Structure 1
Amino acid sequence: MIEKLVLTGAGGRLGSYLREPLSKMAEELVSTDLVDDIGTLYAGETYVKADLANYDEVFAALEGADMVVHFGAIVDEAPFEELLGPNFVGAYNVWEAAYQHGAKRVVYASSIHAVGMHAKNECIDTEVAHRPDSFYGLAKCFAEDLGRMYWDKRGLESVHLRILSCAQVTSARALGSWLSYDDLIQLVTRAVDTPTVGFSVVYGVSNNDRSPVDNNKAAFLGYRPKDNAEQFADAILAKEPPADSTDPAQMCHGGPFSAVDLGESGLAQMNIVDDRKKN
């Protein structure tokens, strides 16, 4: 069992599903976010309010950490100036504080948006070149390169989870991109408990028949998703409008983020259900 884990973004939708399983993997789980309260704490869990853009607050929250599961960020496209603190500087603050405290590993919530402008008919693997679809995706590229540099120069391990779409299936795109919450938990668990990872990238996607990405080069992590979005296909496709091959949202891996102007919300074009876990 790990002595101390830190989870950033614990107040978010995905964080709400990770808190309980992570609390069972560590003697102490420190959950952090910007909200005042995240509800009832699990056994061994404490909550620390911390601003990712403030190095001193991040440094204090990570004291004694063996590993960091870094899910905190603005989770949408926005003007660069809004993303700079939490998404860019925040990533640096987490890696630097983790290194200074002697942590073993950072597990990072990266995103398909780091490679979102690749064409959808390309089944991309984990070594495909960065091709961000937004400032949000650019921040993911920055953190992936940051993680590689800290591994190469300082020996701090990291696993970068390129999550496709971890939300209820409400569109044809999600038939390929869906990551169920159960598979999310397995993905993070494998990223934490695999003995050695160096610098690694893995796609966060369930075992979908229509998955557009290839995880073969990350097989050593032991991530074997169980769920399949095909169960939703008939209902989703019955109400889907005709396909448009001129629409980047349909033709690129990044979906709506590939089509919006830089700085404009991608989530506003999506039907994301806020079904965060209540504890």
Structure 2
Amino acid sequence: MKKLVLTGAAGRLGSYLREPLTALCDTLVSTDIVDDIGTLYAGETYVKADLAQMDQIAPVLEGADMVVHFGAIVDEKPFEELLGPNFVGSYNIWEAGYKAGVKRIVYASSIHAVGMHLKSDFIGIDAEHRPDTFYGLAKCFTEDLGRMYWDKRGLESVHLRILSCAQVNNTRALGSWLSYPDLIQLVTRAIDTPSVGFSIIYGVSNNDRAPVDNAKASFLGYRPIDNAEVYAAEVLAQAEPVDTTDPGQMCHGGPFAKVDLGQSGLAQMNVVNDKKQT
């Protein structure tokens, strides 16, 4: 590819994607709303742009072959706060991408699009939407947006329903963990698979306790390597007894399935900010 665009480049996951993405294109254009993202990699440029402003984001996509769209508010917030970056921002990416002739958009969707399903149901990629929050609703909206733009306009997209890409320090993560190397493989397969149409795949490592089924997405060639079971003994030794009446423990969305709408889900979690530094 000549040009690849990465949104959300200043985020934790974006920080791990920047370097490997430069190997897939002549020019990686990273974008976010911060002033600076640190030292740039060879072949990388940075453009500050607000996803919610079409006049800012559209020029960034001009001439791009593909977009890796990881930009968003990554927590539950009141709907009004999510509307711009998470809803309007997605529309702007798809509409600007279509007008610019982009071939494919790779989107960081989330398990929270189906977060109210029980983990014991072992859902596949065709599970119906059951968002656990306004944040999850934005993921449902963008998945449906991607399907519509494929059906009506032929713009391909791969929607990565990431479960939890963070250090394994709780029992939920024994099933939901996506390691950073597996994240990179997942995004790479979403980019280099010759034809994807509209696709959904769960972003999860090769965990013994994985609660989702990627069988119908096997054509994407994603074969995760890491397994959270190596952390199981330590995590389970410190775990509290399971409360089977608690949706935060029984549903895919974890704490997001329990909090009130508009209230932070991340505040209930112990996410370590191990962002890659440049």
- Asked if TM exceeds 0.5, the reply is yes
Matched, 1:101 2:100: yes
- What residue in structure 1 maps to residue 142 of structure 2? 143
Matches within 5 A, 1:123-272: 123-272=122-271
Return the alpha-carbon distance in structure 1 between the equivalents of residues 79 and 272 of structure 2.
26
Matched, 1:77 2:66: no
- What residue in structure 2 maps to residue 116 of structure 1? 115
| Pairwise CA distance, 1:267 | 0.2
Aligned residues: 278
Q: Secondary structure at the match of 1:121?
A: helix
Return the alpha-carbon distance in structure 2 between the equivalents of residues 126 and 58 of structure 1.
30
Return the alpha-carbon distance in structure 2 between the equivalents of residues 260 and 219 of structure 1.
33
Deviations for 1:75-118, whole angstroms, at most 9, x for unmatched residues?
00000000000000000000000000000000000000000000
Return the alpha-carbon distance in structure 2 between the equivalents of residues 44 and 145 of structure 1.
33
Q: Secondary structure at the match of 2:132?
A: coil
Q: Which amino acid aligns with 2:70?
A: F
CA RMSD of aligned residues (A): 0.3
Return the alpha-carbon distance in structure 2 between the equivalents of residues 138 and 236 of structure 1.
31
Return the alpha-carbon distance in structure 2 between the equivalents of residues 30 and 36 of structure 1.
14
Matched, 1:51 2:50: yes
Return the alpha-carbon distance in structure 2 between the equivalents of residues 278 and 135 of structure 1.
31
| Pairwise CA distance, 1:120 | 1.3
Q: Which amino acid aligns with 1:58?
A: I
Return the alpha-carbon distance in structure 2 between the equivalents of residues 247 and 228 of structure 1.
26
Q: Secondary structure at the match of 1:141?
A: helix
Larger mean Cα displacement after TM superposition, 138-147 or 55-64? 55-64
Q: Please, which runs of 5 or more residues in structure 1 have no aligned partner?
A: none
Return the alpha-carbon distance in structure 2 between the equivalents of residues 251 and 266 of structure 1.
15
Return the alpha-carbon distance in structure 1 between the equivalents of residues 87 and 263 of structure 2.
18
Return the alpha-carbon distance in structure 1 between the equivalents of residues 19 and 49 of structure 2.
20
Q: Which amino acid aligns with 2:227?
A: N
Q: Which amino acid aligns with 2:3?
A: K
Return the alpha-carbon distance in structure 2 between the equivalents of residues 262 and 161 of structure 1.
23
Return the alpha-carbon distance in structure 1 between the equivalents of residues 145 and 254 of structure 2.
25
Superposition misfits of 4+ residues, deviation over 6 angstroms: none
Return the alpha-carbon distance in structure 2 between the equivalents of residues 187 and 50 of structure 1.
26
- What residue in structure 2 maps to residue 25 of structure 1? 24
Return the alpha-carbon distance in structure 2 between the equivalents of residues 10 and 58 of structure 1.
14
Return the alpha-carbon distance in structure 2 between the equivalents of residues 119 and 206 of structure 1.
19
Return the alpha-carbon distance in structure 2 between the equivalents of residues 47 and 23 of structure 1.
12
- What residue in structure 2 maps to residue 3 of structure 1? 2
Q: Which amino acid aligns with 1:17?
A: Y
Return the alpha-carbon distance in structure 2 between the equivalents of residues 61 and 167 of structure 1.
29
Residue identity over aligned pairs, in percent, reads 76
- What residue in structure 2 maps to residue 39 of structure 1? 38
Q: Given the two structures, how large is their TM-score scaled by the length of structure 2?
A: 1.00
Return the alpha-carbon distance in structure 1 between the equivalents of residues 77 and 99 of structure 2.
31
